Each structure stands twice: as C-alpha cells, then as structure tokens.
Chains A and B, each alone.
Chain A
C-alpha cells in the first residue's frame, strides 16, 4: 500500500504556509475570486512542471521547455484563430518532435542537457520568424475554457487537482508508469526484464511534449495574445517546481502531486512579494531561496532518518 509519510508532504506544507501568509496580508484573498486570481497563473506552470517531470523521470533534463511553451503561445495566437486544423497539425508535429528528441538522446547516448538546449533555440527561432513582435489573438474558446468558473470551487483549483491526478495516474498508479520510472533509474534492468527502453524514452518525451502544448494553451488563455518570449522563465521554474515537489535528478524519482504543489508554491511566492510591496526583481531570488530550503530539508531528512537502510 502507498506509504505517504511526513516528508512527502513538504511541498504541501510550504503551500499552506504561503496561503496563510497571503491571506494574512490580504484577507480578501480568502474568497472564490481571491483563489481564482491567486492560482490561475499556477495552471500553465503546473502543466510545464508535469512536462519537466516526465523528462526528469527519464533521468534527463529539458532546457527547451520555456521556448517550446512560447512557440505554442505564438501558434495559438496566430494560427489557431484562423485555421484550427493546421494548428492542431502543428501541435501534433511538435509532440512528434519531442518524441524524436527523446529517441535521439537515447539512441546516440547524447546528453539531454545539450540536445534540449539546442532545441530551445530552434523553438525560439521558429517563434520569432512567425511572430517577430507581440501580436495576435487567442481564440475566445481557449480563454473561456481555462477561465472556467464553476460554482463553489474555483476553476484553477480544479485544474490543478486534475493535473496532479493525471500525472499521478500516468506515472504512479499505472504499471507501465513503474516501467517508465524504472527506465530512468536503471535502464539496463528494465531492458533485461524484456521492456523496450527506446519505447519508454519515446513515451516520456512525448508526454512532455503533450503537457508542454497544454502549458502553452493555458498560458495563452492568460496572455490573450502571442509573444515569442512568453513562457521563457518556465524552464527554471518548472525544474524548481518538480524539485520542491520531491523530485530528484537521479532519474525515476518524481512526485507528480508534489510537482503541482511546487508550481503553486512558486507562483504564490511572487504573489506574497507583491503584497509585501517587494520589487519583482527579488522574485526569482525568493523562489531560489525556497528551492534551497527544500534541498536543505531533504538533507535534514536524510540526517534524521539516519539514512538507515532497512536491515
């Protein structure tokens, strides 16, 4: 049975603490609209965090995620509004490109950090060629979909929970998810057990591409227009979210629900700083501090549990 222990809840403790601080600073935040505003920016980052999480589950890292999301935003603002069919084709092509990236990394044993960094410039270049300066119009149905306001529970909250559940289902509740995580942890063992390691890489990268698309779409619903530079910060923020959520770079060790909470934590830090009238220049620094705090807590955990191997 799944043993959820105290330490797994760290990202959620951070989240609660931050929410508490926000509400103290701005009591109006404790309301339907309040939560709506607070968390709507967390949805695109949560999708991006999932995408990064799939890559980290493979034992790799994706430095191209930010500009990829930017490219999706551009397509959504320029193409989707006029040609739904072509736009969908392009999205599918972009997912396929991610699959090919994964196979390239696996087959040629290339470091993902280099390959995705290279890809990041490709995405950015394409986005700028299509849209040299901010313009375009995101279709209303996209905006409305992501700004859904159901009764009682704010839309963003529902989306965040859904994203967490889907991520959890794909990687943790599913047998093939164990195979996927295993491929990042000990690819040889997975291969020896009879599974195709190439297939696991293709699937993980494909999932990352898919969630990258979703991130771009949901981001577009917020920006309502296109800009090649949108989402550029998502690379580092998504890594932060995954790490805060309990994931590690060593491959196979990821926590989907935690990553979603991590995304919310990252976004809320910005909010707290705004409420404290701290310049947004300090935002990334504060987010970095939380990241360091997470790693420090992890070190404390290792010390406290004595890293005792079960004898």
Chain B
C-alpha cells in the first residue's frame, strides 16, 4: 500500500479481529478508504464481509483493532456506536432492513432525520426523503403515506438506502452498503451506481459489499477480496477480471472436463431412489432435478440464500404432507427427519433439558398406548448423548450447553428417530472443528447403515464428505459435482454463475 498522508484517508481500520465463540470471523483485517473512492469487498459465504462492515459501523465491537476517521484516532474502548458513526459522517445500510413496518414512509424518514421536528415534521422529512429517492431512484413511485409493511421488498430497500443518505447537520462522508442491490431490479441498480459515482466525484466515499461481481467490476474503483476472515487481496478494478476475482476468492473453473456434469448414479447396485426430484419449480426454485439413493450423502451448496433451504423444505414438506402428492415433481420414499441449523429459532426447545430435546422426535416410539416409558427414553437419550459425545449432563438445561453441543443434541434428536432420510440445514454453522469432525463421522456411519443424507452447507470444505454435490444459483442447479470435481474451487466458480449474469 502506497504511503499517504493520513489526513487524506477518510477511514482506516487496522488489524480488526473478531471471534464469535469458536468462529474466527475477522483475522487481522486492515482496510483504507479515501475520499472520492468507491471500494468493494468481495468474498464467498462466511468470508467476513458483513462482520467487517458491522464492525466499521459500530454494531459489532471487534476484539482487537484500531480505527481512524479523517486522520483522527477513534477510541475503540466500547466500540463505535451507531450514533457516533453518524457524527463522523458515516452512514450504513444494513443487510437486514432497519425499517419499522408499522410506520409510514415519511415517519420512517423523520425517525432518522434530526431536524425533522416541530410543526410539519412529516412534510419536512418527506421532502428530504423524496429528494433523495428522486435523485437515486428516479421513477420510484413511493408515496409519503404508504406504510413500510405495504411496500415490496424492492421499494423497502430503496427507502432504506435513500434514508441512509439523509443528513441533518453533518455532511455525508462515507456510505457503507451491505448487499444493497440484492432486492433491486436492474433499473434501480443502475441508477444507484450512477448516483454513487456522481457523489464520489464530488467527494463521497463508499464501501459496497456484494456478491454481484459484474457490478463491482463495472462501478467500483478498488476491491478487497476476503476469505476465511482475512483480506487476501486488494486490487484496483482495472487490474481485475471476473475470472481473477473468482480465483482470488478460491474458485476455479478448471476441472477434469470428462467428468463434468456426468452423474454417476449408483443404479448399478440396484438401489432405488429415496428422493427423486424431476423438474420441480416453485416461487424460489426453478426446474430442479435431483436424485438421492439409500446410503448416499448429497450436498447442496452455493451462495447463501439461493434456494438451498427452500429445496430442503420442499422435500420435507412432501415427505410429511398428508396429501398424497403435495408436489408432483418430488417423490420421497421413507420417513424423514430435519436438523435445523438456526438452532435458536427453529431448533432447540430452550426451556427443556438436553435429554428432553433429544427424545422430542422419538416420543411416539418410546410410548406404549400413549404412556411414555421413561426407561426407554433414558436409554435412548444416554446412548445418543454418548455417541455424539455431548458435553453436558442430559438433565442439564439445553441452553447451558455450548453452541456446538446444542447442535449435537439437535442432530441426535433427528437421527434417533431412525428416519430413512435426514435433511440438514447448515448444521455446522458456528460449531467448533472438533464437533464438526464428529458430526461428519456420524453422518458417514448413518449413510453406511443405509440412510440418505441431504445436507445444505455453507462451508465448502465439507463437500468432500458428500458423494454428490449440487451447486445452486438463483434457485437453479447449475452444476453437479462428483468424484474429483468435488472441490471448493469448482463450487465457488459455479456459485457466481456465468459471465453474462451478475
């Protein structure tokens, strides 16, 4: 990095590190943003982009690190607060929208505008917001009196972005945007970048994190590439191409082309499909075709939010639906269990003990004429707790266990049912390496015993444990990888799609 006078730098972050339990989200990350610059941060799932942005904005306090704004050292003792960053002219647009659904658009703007008070505060706020909307998203069609909850997600994103640019007393110096275009259409995306460029010429700096590589290459000046919580490259966009970016992120199109797209089925062993999908389409997925036989471990990968979870849910719903063929394109044979990765929301019964959490799905089997056999339950719970090496007494409340052990309990719950098909929704998220290894071993054992495992993972190293990997992009299967093709590089390359798309 060329040495520069610090006062010419708008923002400098040095050696930011942040861990969430066992996960190292940021590892010695240093970035610099100058006036008139549009900087991008690129990376695959879990690279640390959002964590970095949240640390810069003050939402997350880094464990270590120094920050300078406009040449002034910032006291990181308690982290920067959201209000503080505004005082420095730093505004952030977050990935989870910061709008109140109950409020109207003009009220929503007034909440963030210091000087929209007194008589006619709604009008004052709306005037400023409307001006921003007109400038950034001409033809937006948003009205002052509309409730936020009635707006489409695209319009909400427009309101969010426009609101973030509103200022009362302090000039906007640095705008940080986390996936700003994910819900915008092509028009709105174009006008947004046009506006960003115009403002950057006038002095504004911006940091944009996005998965849309073409957007970054077309509109931004400089890109940082992150991987596993570290910054591994920093290049001006003029020196980058799409392929180079993907390669830097760890992706590669190279492969043993003879095995490309050839699905080596296990039909030769005479086993039948446990899950068979042919041309399934719903509002999130398009033309999905997939097969899974007994004893196979299937992986679903790709960028987060590109339909993997929707596919798992569709399979689960088909299997558990009372109507004979809920989705005609999906055929499921046998019973099914689902291991959730979002354990707080969809997994643990937080007021129960570990044992109760493990036995929860098996109660029917453990009961005779409606009466639960405590003995059988104890045997089941003890044996699974032992097999999964759960650290914590089975009588302890589940919330007293570490995240990894909670995840193990969830897994135990599902496998204990003896279901033929196990669906896993990113089960190793936030889990330590030791636990992960154990979970892989268990899954392999279960598959060897004849179970079918379908596993959505955001950690690409895990696909080595899968017999077959389906890469999803925008709700479609873009690649099927088997054998030697199952490497991270191919997955990353496929995740970002063809050169013609975003």
Contacts and interface: CB of A to CB of B under 8 A. Distances in A.
A194 B94 CA distance: 15
B312 interface: no
Interface residues of A, number: 27
Given A194-B82, A194-B86, A310-B151, A182 B145 contact: no
Q: What does DSSP make chain B's interface, helix, strand, loop or mixed? A: loop
Given A181-B103, A309-B152, A310-B152, A188 B111 contact: no
B102 A184 contact: yes
A179 B86 CA distance: 18
Contacts of B108: 178, 182
B110 A192 contact: no
Contacts of A190: 100, 111
B98 A188 contact: yes
B150 A309 contact: yes
A186 B100 contact: yes
A185 B82 contact: no
Contact of A194 (B83, B107, B150): B83
Interface in B117-149: 117-118, 121, 141-142, 144-146
Contacts of A182: 100, 102-103, 107-108, 111
B104 to A, nearest CB: 8
A250 B112 CA distance: 22
Contacts of A311: 152, 154-155
A252 B102 contact: yes
A58 to B, nearest CB: 11
A159 to B, nearest CB: 26
B110 A175 contact: yes
B32 interface: no
B83 A178 contact: no
A251 B103 CA distance: 10
Given A178-B110, A194-B86, A310-B152, A185 B100 contact: yes
A108 interface: no
Given A1-B145, A178-B107, A189 B98 contact: yes
A193 B164 CA distance: 10
B363 interface: no
B314 interface: no
B99 interface: yes
Most buried by A among B59, B103, B116, B141: B103
B483 interface: no
A204 to B, nearest CB: 13
Contacts of A189: 98-100, 111
A195 interface: yes
A252 B104 CA distance: 11
A252 B94 CA distance: 22
A104 interface: no
Contacts of B21: none
A311 B98 CA distance: 19
Interface string A1-26: 11100000000000000000000000
A175 B116 contact: yes
Given A193-B112, A309-B150, A175 B121 contact: yes
A290 interface: no
Contact of A310 (B99, B100, B111, B150): B150
Nearest to A186: B100
Contact-residue bracket for chain B: 20 to 34
Contacts of B102: 181-182, 184-185, 250-253
A185 B145 contact: no
Contacts of B112: 193-194
A34 interface: no
A93 interface: no
Contacts of B117: 175
Given A175-B121, A178-B111, A193-B111, A186 B86 contact: no
A191 interface: yes
A185 B103 contact: yes
Interface string A170-186: 00001100110110111
B101 interface: yes
Most buried by B among A1, A174, A186, A188: A186
Interface string A248-270: 00111100000000000000000
Nearest to A4: B145
A221 to B, nearest CB: 35
Most buried by B among A2, A184, A191, A310: A310
Contacts of A309: 150-153
A184 B100 CA distance: 9
A114 B174 CA distance: 45
A278 to B, nearest CB: 38
B127 to A, nearest CB: 13
Nearest to B155: A310
B82 A191 contact: yes
Contacts of A181: 100, 102-103, 107
Interface string A191-229: 111110000000000000000000000000000000000
B146 A186 contact: no
Nearest to A194: B83
A190 B112 CA distance: 8
Contacts of A191: 82
Nearest to A184: B102
Contact of A192 (B98, B142, B153): B98
B88 to A, nearest CB: 13
A159 B351 CA distance: 48
A182 B116 CA distance: 16
Given A182-B111, A193-B111, A310-B146, A252 B82 contact: no
Given A181-B102, A189-B98, A1 B150 contact: no
Interface in A25-84: none
Nearest to B117: A175
B150 A179 contact: no
Nearest to B58: A192
Interface of B: 59, 82-83, 86, 94, 98-103, 107-108, 110-112, 116-118, 121, 141-142, 144-146, 150-155
Closest 9 CB pairs of A and B: A252-B102, A185-B102, A185-B100, A178-B107, A194-B83, A182-B100, A3-B145, A189-B98, A309-B152
Given A182-B108, A186-B99, A189-B111, 15 more contacts: A174-B121, A175-B110, A175-B121, A178-B107, A181-B107, A182-B100, A186-B100, A186-B101, A193-B98, A194-B83, A194-B86, A253-B102, A309-B151, A309-B152, A311-B152
10 contacts: A181-B107, A182-B108, A185-B100, A186-B99, A188-B98, A193-B98, A193-B111, A194-B82, A252-B100, A309-B151
Interface of A: 1-3, 174-175, 178-179, 181-182, 184-186, 188-195, 250-253, 309-311
